[in-house]
């Protein structure tokens, strides 16, 4: 059974940093897109970042490029999202997801992802 468990959310002031972790179990993450998505109240889900697990190529939404960094630890089957220079508009529930077919990671299309974590709240105050 595939499980994705996020951790690291919390509250921070604008300009601060947080690091989210997503621990995957139940499968071997090869040829897989691992992505981070977020959803704020009243807004649609937004793809934030993804990484192609075979070679570590990262992809970012324009809204977070230059501020967020996605990375992976293959030995631990864990994906991270380092979030710097946080803004109030980054406030949302952040979820990690896995897309085991591993294509079009750049698209950050949540509909392609089969497995999802439970989400972790990130709140950025001004």
Give the C-alpha separation, 124 to 114, whole Å.
29
Question: How does pLDDT run along the chain (126 residues), one tens digit per residue?
Answer: 789 999 999 999 999 999 999 999 887 667 899 999 999 999 999 999 999 999 999 999 999 999 999 999 988 899 999 999 999 999 999 999 999 888 899 999 999 999 999 999 999 999
Residue 122 is given by DSSP the state E
Strand-pair partners of 64: none
Largest CA distance in the chain: 40
Give the C-alpha separation, 11 to 103, whole Å.
34
Contact 34, 83 (CB under 8 A): no
Rounded to 5 degrees, φ, ψ at 28 are -95, 120
């Amino acid at each position: 059974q595939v499980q994705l468990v996020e951790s690291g959310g919390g509250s921070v002031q604008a300009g601060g940093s947080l690091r989210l972790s997503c621990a995957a179990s139940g499968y071997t993450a090869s040829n897989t897109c691992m992505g981070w998505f977020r959803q704020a109240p009243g807004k649609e889900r937004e793809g934030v970042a993804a990484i192609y697990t075979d070679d570590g190529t990262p992809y970012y939404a324009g809204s977070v490029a230059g501020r967020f960094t996605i990375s992976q630890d293959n030995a631990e089957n864990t994906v991270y999202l380092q979030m710097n220079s946080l803004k109030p508009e980054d406030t949302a529930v952040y979820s990690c997801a896995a897309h085991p077919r591993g294509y079009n990671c750049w698209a950050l299309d949540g509909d392609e992802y089969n497995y999802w974590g439970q989400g972790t709240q990130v709140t950025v105050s001004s």
